[in-house]
Structure 1
Amino acid sequence: MSTLSRWSVAAGTGLVLALGCVAPAASAAASPVPRASSAAAPAGAVSAAEPVRAVADVRLPVGWQARRESAAARTGVQSPVSAVVGRAIDPGEHDCSPTALSVYAEGLLAGLDPQELRFVADSGVLDFPTYDALLFGTDGDPAYALTSSSRSELERTFRSAQRFWDVPSADVQLMAMHGSVLRDPARLARLLTVLYGLPAAEAREYSAQVVAAVESVPELAGGENPVFTLNAYAFSAQGATDPLVASLPDKIVFGDGILAFMSSIGLSDVGPRAVLAHEFAHHVQYEDDLFDSPLTGPEATRRTELMADAFATYFATHKRGAALNAKRVVQAQRSFAEVGDCSFTSPGHHGTPNQRERAAQWGADLAASQREQGHVLPSLQVAERFEAALAELVAPDAR
């Protein structure tokens, strides 16, 4: 399986924001999504056996939950917003202090009734934009172009990171994922066929139902609700044995929702750069073979993510990196802390907000402590120093 990092409102191996990758409860095969209000199908939707009117008309394909689990296992990524939807559906199942990210995601879902929340949780719509960009996106395709408001800044930071780190990175593609796939039945049917293995006719029917359902719920904004793209991730097919995944190029993918979140907490200037620095750090880890360690489960993922936080802030504050000033360093640290999570037993655990902030501070301190400010430490030396500090960074801190 490939290694993929996600800025999940919880993250995989990337400055994946970490909300956690908790899968929604399994649905019975071919069971209907609970009924909600109806609306006419959007223009261009592929016609099903009967006219598709609303969320209530969606019928999950046979064996859908197993197909979703297979897709997540093949790609190594799943929307971190799934955990937020789970809390909304059954708030008694989760006990964790909210972060700015989880509060933001919950706000995006606030207008949905229980039936609509169940559709969001079970239908796969939270993952479709992520998988579409992963499998079919390229940095030269306008459908996956970064938004104009962030493109110049992100591309500039990306090129700076390529020069800064001592690993091959010319093959890494920088692109975006958009919710537009949820308005495009042809693109969605392609994804359902290639990744989920649905027969072509069934894929066309289900894609038509999903597109119409998303259009029927005003709060989902035809796929433009940031909840569908509230993620960013780094991907490498290194070591992949699945032919579909092994054929993909290295990528860093930014969701529109992550940019919207950063703007909502006043980090629209430094936040995207911090996220990109984190995701690029995952590519450094890929090239340096830094994912392997004696740790297993949640502790292994936490180590990887905290290391990426440290690498990212080392680059962000270094004079030959992004060279952010003291005020911006604090903001960058805040952006890392806000994507911490409390999924202590989840394989996708990224570290608590405090641990992520400490890791970011460690990286900034390392850059500031160098006697030769123009010197960049080899990435393996940064990793070695981080390993020595890890135990302190994750030490218990409860009062």
Structure 2
Amino acid sequence: MNLIVKLLCGILIGILMGMFAPDVLIQGLITVKYLVSQLIKFTIPLLILFYVTSGIASLPKNSGKLLSKTVGLAYMSTLAAGIFAFLVAKSLFPILLDGAGQLPEAKAALAPFLALQIPPLMNIMTALTIAFMFGLGISTTGADQLKKVSDQGRDIIELFLNKVLIPALPFYIAGVFADMTVKGTVFATLQTFSLVLLAVVVMHWVWLAFQFVTTGIVIQQSPLKILRTMMPAYFTAVGTMSSAATVPVTLQQTKRNGVSNSIANFVVPLCANIHMSGSVISIASVAVAVILMTGGSVPSLLEALPFIAMLGITMVAAPGAPGGAVMASVGLLGSMLGFTEEMIALQIVLHLAQDSFGTACNVTGDGVIALLVDKMSGETQVEEGLDLIEA
């Protein structure tokens, strides 16, 4: 929550400086924005490389069936949530943001004092390919030294995010909004914020309702009862903005829904890292809003599907910190949707403003995945027992 307050202060300071400060101070702030932007672009491929490699390499090797069921359900839930959010946003946002969503023609912008280029070591797809290759290889061969390197690389990137990039975000956002104020587009942009945020939070609730009603039908239990049991996890996530920090509560409430200890202990910690339906809803819908706000053309579902599919995979690389999901998606937004620096800044601000609700949707849905895996595992054990009796 402190980060959200700092970001709001950054927006306010950026607008005030854009309106009243002399050009030399505004250019200084825009220079900071430019340098932070370069660091973000440089860091994202490394973040994906080390986080995805470490995550895949850490998957248990002796739980093949259970692992495949959990990963399959988590990814299908994440993918379906992204498609749902994109379709709703594509249909609703042009109406919701009519007038408010059209930015006026921008005036000439101020240039940074120092345009220092920091090219990334590799592009996003190269980082993902290497991560999958080495992650699966380490998991298969048990290469302890490479596993240690990937874990230590992940820890270093996480330290850099927590100590440098995330604390720098308020200055970055201040520079973006100072630049937008100079261009004359800031107030039209701000009008859309509340409408978009409200719509995204409602989408989270609708998706949770769908998940729990569907699961209630499959396991033949009351959806309201299992949802009510998971609510402590929801509110804990709203407060912590972290799936990892909410795992103890999610685990406790999942077991209270009748999931066996062994299934819950395996599924819940794993889903805290790979099941990101709420985050994907936020990113996909906010991306549509940003495209509309900047006068772009929203792609069709067929054109957006590769982005949504890759987003579900990339969420494995999301650090367990506020804003981690949107930071992991920055590369895809630029490479697959053609987002500019200003569009990415708007995406970050809008995402962080509702990040706690996206995280709450993630962890509450983890309880659904555990219930379904428990149901499937129970049926498999019964079938194996019958086969043994017949034999």
Please, what TM-score do these two structures have when normalized by structure 1? 0.24
Name the structure with the higher strand share: 1
Q: Whose radius of gyration is greater, 1 or 2?
A: 2
Structure with larger RCO (C-alpha < 8 A, sep 6+): 2
